[in-house]
């Protein structure tokens, strides 16, 4: 009876595991303890529109869109210097001390525009005619800032996509670790059960039972850790991106279908950090030019109309006396209290306490800093590119080594399983080989995830991740 049980186990359980050689087969065929659809959902590749919608809903992406709006409005603000300015002023009061000696055209010494009493109004329009390109440089600065804001929007989308891919592939490896770990534990428990039966029948030893019990406990601990990691990644996926397991699986499929096997880093000029720094340098040059030209005279035209005592427009002219009630009587011939003036002004600062000079010094320091930042970016890019290429090669070799080891171990496990049919059973060896095979397959799943994430990092470094996934960046609604 026991011998038939042993043979059944070696053929149906261990041989199946030994001959698969990949964690994918285990996940599909032996996901005991977990529902396969919940842990490793099978789905088609995600579309570019779906991914674009997921990214567009992220708060960081929305924030970067508002930054574009802010910079575009800055252009409109800078352009207002080209247009005329219209202003109005209404004032009223009474003169507290009357020492006026200027007379009007009728000889009076208390002209309404000087008596301070009543309501006066002024309407003026002014137009900047020439400022040596200061306004043009200001507009160009804002345009460069808008270009930089668009790069930041693209960088945000790139970072969110890279983070989502990283989390998705880690989640895939964690899910496979759970499935493989549970499968391996079930197999080891089956071996332990048969070993205990063998011991009770007097055909085995207590040492074998204890050895297998310890191996089962260790595998249970590893499975518990893998399960906790998987649950943590699922929570992070939903919290950070609001993405389901099916969507994560679709994104992985999408990336794998589109990416190259061995992407190559491009020159530093293609990186987002380098291009942003170049824009900062251009902005600093424009600021320096603007500050230099702001010391030159500006030409401005102004047209102004004024009216005095608008609520008492007849209270003007020379005083001729008073009536019996004491009211002032005036000579109202040609009584007017308004004027229109036009002027052309040339203005320039003579002394500003050193403000302009110190601001230009600050810009010069900024330009030197940005030049150093550029050299730093170039060095960092070379190091990062070299590290990613080395990492890609190392992981590729590690994956190939794992495949060879899995094949060799599977063959060894199959040989040991066949020996059971000749009653040369060695349950501890069977369990040990099954345990090692499970570890190798879990390790291979992790290596594959790291490989895909390394490829994604290379595309991100090249500023190509958004393009290969055909992500459509939403335009700001300003």
Model confidence band, residue 312 (pLDDT cutoffs 50, 70, 90) = low
pLDDT over 80 (residue 103): no
CA distance 417 to 150: 62
* CA neighbor of 244 nearest in space, from 437, 38, 29, 106: 38
Using the CB atoms, write b or e for 36-70: b if 16+ within 10 Å: beebbbeeeebeeeebbebbbebeebeebbebbee
- Do the strands 298-307 and 319-322 form a parallel or antiparallel pair, or are they unpaired? unpaired
* CA neighbor of 411 nearest in space, from 14, 8, 5: 14
CA distance 209 to 189: 11
Predicted pLDDT at 207: 81
CA distance 154 to 418: 59
Whether residue 272 contacts residue 464, with contact meaning beta carbons closer than 8 Å, is answered with no
CA distance 10 to 187: 10
Predicted pLDDT at 35: 36
Predicted pLDDT at 19: 29
This prediction has a pTM of 0.78
Q: Which of 106-110, 170-174, 319-323, 413-417 has the highest mean pLDDT?
A: 170-174
The per-residue pLDDT for range 81-98, each reduced to its tens digit, is 999 999 999 888 776 665
Q: Residue 202: count other Cβ atoms within 10 Å of its Cβ.
A: 7
**pLDDT-above-90 percentage for the chain:** 57
The per-residue pLDDT for range 334-387, each reduced to its tens digit, is 556 678 899 999 988 888 889 999 999 999 999 999 999 999 999 999 999 999
* CA neighbor of 458 nearest in space, from 398, 390, 385, 394: 385
pLDDT over 60 (residue 9): no
How far from chain centre, in Å, is Cα 330?
A: 76
CA distance 466 to 158: 6
- Per residue, the 3-state secondary structure of 119-154, as one string, reads EEEEEEEEEEEECCCHHHHHHHHHHHHHHHHHHHHH
CA distance 292 to 364: 12
Region 390-395 average pLDDT: 96
Predicted pLDDT at 7: 29
Predicted pLDDT at 329: 67
How far from chain centre, in Å, is Cα 106?
A: 75
**H helices within 44-133, ranges in order?**
48-56, 59-79, 112-115
Whether residue 112 contacts residue 88, with contact meaning beta carbons closer than 8 Å, is answered with no
50's CB contacts (< 8 A; 6+ apart) are 247, 250
Model confidence band, residue 298 (pLDDT cutoffs 50, 70, 90) = very high
Region 135-164 average pLDDT: 94
Predicted pLDDT at 181: 93
Is 379 or 30 the better-scoring residue by pLDDT? 379
The per-residue pLDDT for range 423-464, each reduced to its tens digit, is 556 788 888 888 999 999 999 999 999 999 999 999 999 999
pLDDT over 80 (residue 420): no
Region 99-119 average pLDDT: 54
CA distance 202 to 47: 62
CA distance 187 to 190: 5
Region 238-261 average pLDDT: 92
- Do the strands 319-322 and 328-330 form a parallel or antiparallel pair, or are they unpaired? antiparallel
| Mean pLDDT, the chain, integer | 82
CA distance 38 to 27: 12
* CA neighbor of 113 nearest in space, from 335, 302, 331, 303: 335
The per-residue pLDDT for range 205-217, each reduced to its tens digit, is 788 888 888 989 9
Predicted pLDDT at 331: 59
Whether residue 61 contacts residue 153, with contact meaning beta carbons closer than 8 Å, is answered with yes
pLDDT over 80 (residue 309): no
Ranges 300-304, 317-321, 327-331, 420-424: which has the least confidence: 420-424
Predicted pLDDT at 47: 86
The DSSP call for residue 220 is H
Whether residue 184 contacts residue 13, with contact meaning beta carbons closer than 8 Å, is answered with no
**pLDDT-above-70 percentage for the chain:** 80
């Amino acid at each position: 009876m026991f011998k038939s049980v042993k043979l059944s186990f070696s053929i149906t359980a261990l041989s199946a595991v030994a001959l698969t050689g990949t964690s994918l087969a285990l996940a599909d065929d032996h996901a005991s303890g977990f529902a396969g659809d919940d842990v490793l959902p099978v789905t088609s590749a995600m579309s570019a529109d779906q991914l674009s919608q997921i990214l567009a809903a992220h708060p960081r992406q929305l924030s970067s869109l508002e930054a574009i709006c802010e910079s575009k409005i800055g252009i409109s603000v800078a352009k207002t210097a080209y247009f005329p300015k219209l202003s109005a002023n209404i004032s009223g009061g009474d003169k507290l001390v009357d020492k006026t000696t200027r007379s009007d055209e009728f000889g009076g010494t208390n002209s309404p525009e000087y008596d301070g009493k009543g309501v006066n109004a002024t309407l003026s329009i002014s137009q900047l005619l020439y400022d040596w390109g200061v306004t043009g440089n200001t507009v160009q600065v804002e345009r460069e800032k808008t270009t930089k804001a668009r790069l930041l929007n693209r960088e945000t989308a790139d970072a969110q996509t890279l983070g989502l891919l990283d989390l998705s592939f880690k989640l895939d490896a964690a899910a496979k670790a759970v499935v493989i770990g549970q499968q391996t534990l079930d197999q080891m428990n089956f071996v332990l059960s048969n070993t205990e039966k063998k011991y009770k029948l007097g055909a085995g030893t207590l040492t074998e039972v204890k050895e297998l019990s310890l191996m089962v406990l260790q595998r249970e601990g590893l499975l518990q850790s893998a399960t906790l990691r998987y649950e943590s990644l699922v929570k992070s996926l939903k919290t950070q991106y609001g993405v389901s397991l099916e969507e994560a699986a679709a994104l992985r499929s999408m990336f794998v279908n589109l990416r190259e096997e061995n992407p190559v880093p491009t020159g530093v000029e293609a990186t987002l950090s380098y291009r942003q720094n170049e824009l900062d340098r251009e902005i600093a040059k424009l600021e320096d030019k603007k500050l230099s030209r702001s010391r030159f005279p500006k030409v401005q035209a102004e047209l102004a109309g004024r009216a005095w005592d608008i609520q008492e427009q007849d209270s003007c002219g020379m005083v001729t006396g008073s009536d019996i009630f004491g009211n002032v009587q005036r000579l109202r011939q040609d009584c007017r209290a308004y004027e229109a003036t036009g002027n052309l002004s040339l203005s320039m600062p003579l002394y500003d306490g050193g403000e302009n000079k110190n601001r230009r010094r600050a810009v010069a320091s900024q330009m030197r800093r940005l030049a150093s930042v550029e050299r730093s970016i170039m060095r960092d890019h070379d190091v990062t590119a070299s590290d990613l290429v080395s990492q890609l090669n190392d992981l590729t070799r590690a994956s190939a080594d794992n495949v060879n080891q899995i094949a060799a171990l599977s063959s060894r496990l199959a040989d040991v399983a066949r020996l059971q049919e000749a009653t040369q059973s060695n349950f501890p060896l069977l369990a040990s080989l099954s345990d090692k095979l499970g570890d190798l397959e879990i390790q291979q799943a992790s290596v594959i995830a790291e490989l895909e994430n390394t490829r994604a990092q290379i595309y991100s470094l090249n500023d190509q991740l958004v393009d290969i996934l055909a992500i459509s960046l939403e335009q700001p609604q300003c």
